[in-house]
Structure 1
Amino acid sequence: MPASADELLALLDLEDLDVNLFRGRQPETSLQRVFGGQVAAQALLAAARTTDPAYVVHSLHSYFLLPGDTAVPIIYDVERLRDGRSFGTRRVVARQHGRPIYYLTANFQKAEEGFEHQDVMPEVIPPEEGLDLGAMFRSRGGGSTEEWEREWAALDVRYVGNSRQGLPEDPAHPARARLWIRVNGEMGDDPLQHLAAFTYASDMTLLGSTLVPHGVNISSPGMQVASLDHTVWFHRSFRADEWWLYDQESPSASGGRGLAVARVFTQDGTLGATVAQEGLIRHRD
């Protein structure tokens, strides 16, 4: 997996194969399947490559169909569903071995003025006071250090707390988690690259919030965890290489599935995006 901002941008850079057809590269990884955020980000970039730059993505909706094979590239086939005066829509199918592994539909819009309101960012500690997940793994030594450096060093993640520890009690919402996240290194000023890098990172921690009330985590023995779908609404532009608060909440878990919804705030309190994901959180004895 990418170990720096430059490696992340290189991973997300697609190869043009034909009209509406692209190929995404794979990183060196020990993961058993392709990271969902990678597929989502590459698919978003494929959709954007076929869209007039005057249109900016405002939402994506997607389903993970099959585990991705980390040993072969992914082919992204874009269908131009609509090009209107205000909105454009693209559908992308990601394929490996001739089979669809992921579907994405993205909607784009020309910039326009309109009504404005947003939620207020909750009071949280600054990122500098959060628990550095990389440092936490390094303090454990051994394989944990190597895994973090190899797989997730492109992201700087600071844990704020969850419903069990670190956050104020809220019995009405028993499954909450908050983290500060940014790309670990400076990126350029291309807004599309920041949208793609954020999409990549947005898949990293969501399902963890669905497990908070149950005293387990995604790496606990017997846990089978996988993203089933992923949705992002982009409200306002922000930089992926500057701190953003991932304010996560899980309103429900049932039937072996957990739902997580997250608000994304910049440090100045701007609500940049809303993310939702349902995933498999199956526990096997």
Structure 2
Amino acid sequence: MTTPLPVPTISTEPVASVLRILSLKENGEDSFIARSLPQVRRVYGGQVLAQGLLAASATVPEGRLPHSLHAYFVRGGDPESPFTLDVTRVLDGRSFTNRSVSCFQDTREILTMSVSFQGHEAAPSYSPSAPQVPPADECRSAFEIFRLMDHPVGKFLGKTAAFDVRHIGQSLYTKADPQREPAQRLWMKPRARVPEEASQYVHRALLTYVVDQVMLEPALRTLGLSWMSPGLVAASLDHAMWFHHDVDINEWILFDQRCTQIVNGRVLVECSIFSQHGTLLAHATQEAMLRIPSEGHKSSHWGFGVDPQSGKPMSSMA
């Protein structure tokens, strides 16, 4: 049996729930069982990415940390059912370790991912500077917006969102940005402190978990859309990340994002991730399907906003 990596627990919700679902269960040699947070329609993609990263990390030599991952979202997952994470040991080299992860639910693969690991090396380095932006304490918290929303989505996110999100400028929770800029910047930090004993594997997994929450927003801005645009249909297709320095998830983290392409119902977005002290921590890139129903084309159950029949929110965020 392969032992999962330890994930510390706390009692403060909703961060406590995120840490609990990142704690995997052993399921044999290089295989693990994972569960999902309560969600309305489908498994949150960032959750499976983080769980897959921790599954792969449980099989690598001590001292080697993940420096990159590349994943494809194959199918939407059912949040009511557990799933298995099967790890294949592709390479154990002198400098790098490679693992592939397949996530199955009821024999159907919902995600496939490759992860590369490396130990510390003394080598030349260069990193760009962080952009000059207002500090997080001068930006409006998303929870202020959620409390003022007379809408099921606001109530849902106010209870379940584990990270405080602070956009630099207008958010997209209630309306579109009239500027239609293909870029945005925002701060994020968990609503409760992650215990000091959490390993760097856990900190990097939490960053992987939360970045998926906001990856599509630069594309929404470009198209003049918001999360409340009627009939919006979105689904992540693939996701890649590169880790450059150790992550402290308990600090404010700056996300500098841009939309680089919109074509054929697909959008491509990029994100540079900085510490509150200006260190470039990571990069992320994602392609997603993004559609707006037109005449004769109805939206699917993968939409956002509120289900017109039940009145329940149709999306879940970290």
TM, length-normalised to structure 1: 0.92
Q: Aligned-pair distance for 1:162?
A: 6.5
Aligned to 1:27: 37
User: What's the offset of the Cα at 1:273?
Assistant: 0.3
1:155 and 2:155 are equivalent in the alignment: no
Q: Which amino acid aligns with 1:185?
A: A
Q: Secondary structure at the match of 2:76?
A: coil
Partner of 1:12: 22
Structure 1 unmatched ranges of 5 or more: none
Matches for 1:99-138 after TM superposition, within 5 Å: 99-138=108-147
Give per-residue Cα distances to partners, 1:5-26, cap 9 Å, x unaligned: 2221111000001011000122
CA distance in 2, matches of 1:69, 1:219: 23
- TM-fit CA distance, 1:142: 4.3
The equivalent residue for 1:185 is 192
Partner of 2:302: none
1:75 shift after superposition: 0.6
User: What are the within-5 Å matches in structure 2 for residues 61-80 of structure 1?
Assistant: 61-80=70-89
Quick one: distance in 2 between partners of 1:5 and 1:193? 13
* CA deviation map 1:215-265 (0-9, x unaligned): 112431121111111111000012112100010001111111111100001
Partner of 2:228: 219
Q: What are the Cα deviations for residues 193-220 of structure 1, in whole angstroms up to 9, with x where unaligned? A: 1111111001001111112122112431
Gaps of 5+ in 2: 1-11, 295-318
Partner SS, residue 272 of structure 1: strand
Question: 2 CA distance for matches of 1:38 and 1:263?
Answer: 20
Aligned residues: 277
What CA deviation, in whole Å up to 9, does each residue of 1:161-182 have, x standing for no partner?
A: 37999x9x9xxx9400111011
Whether 2:227 is the aligned partner of 1:203: answer no
Tell me the distance in 1 between the aligned counterparts of 2:23 and 2:104: 17
In the other structure, the counterpart of 2:100 is: 91
Counterpart of 1:156 in structure 2: which amino acid?
Answer: D
Q: Is the CA contact 1:218–1:225 (under 8 Å) kept in the aligned structure 2?
A: no
Deviations 1:76-113 (A, max 9, x none): 00000000111000000000010100011000001111
| Counterpart-to-counterpart distance in 2, 1:282 and 1:3 | 34
Which amino acid is the alignment partner of residue 205 of structure 2?
A: A
- Which position in structure 1 is the counterpart of 2:252? 243
Matching residue of 2:285: 276
> Structure 1 residues 110 and 233 mapped into 2: Cα distance closer, same or farther (>3 Å)?
same
Alpha-carbon separation, structure 2, partners of 1:239 and 1:20? 28
Aligned partner of residue 131 in structure 1, secondary structure? coil
Change (3 A) 1:75 1:265: same
Amino acid paired to 1:262: C
Query: Contact 1:163/1:174 (CA < 8 Å) preserved in 2?
Result: no
**Which has a greater percent of strand?**
1
Q: Using a 3 Å threshold, how does the CA distance of structure 1 residues 181 and 163 change in structure 2: closer, same or farther?
A: closer
C-alpha deviation, 1:54, in angstroms: 1.4
Amino acid at match of 2:24: L
Q: Secondary structure at the match of 2:112?
A: strand
Please give the alpha-carbon distance, in whole angstroms, between the structure 2 residues aligned to 1:37 and 1:205. Answer: 10
When structure 1 is superposed on structure 2, of 189-198 and 272-281 the one drifting more is 189-198
- CA, structure 1 residues 52+217, in 2 after alignment: closer, same or farther (shift >3 Å)? same
CA distance, structure 2, for counterparts of residue 151 and residue 227 of structure 1: 21
| Counterpart Cα distance in 2 of 1:14 and 1:185 | 21
How big is the alpha-carbon RMSD for the aligned residues of Structure 1 and Structure 2?
2.0
Give secondary structure in 2 for the equivalent of 1:228: strand
SS of equivalent residue, structure 1 residue 217:
coil
CA–CA separation in structure 2 for the residues paired with 1:53 and 1:284: 49
Identity %: 34
Instruction: Describe the SS at the equivalent of 1:161.
Output: coil
SS for the counterpart of 2:216 is helix
Q: CA deviation at 1:60?
A: 0.3
Distance 2:150 2:230 in 1: 20
Q: Which moved more, 1:216-225 or 1:236-245?
A: 216-225
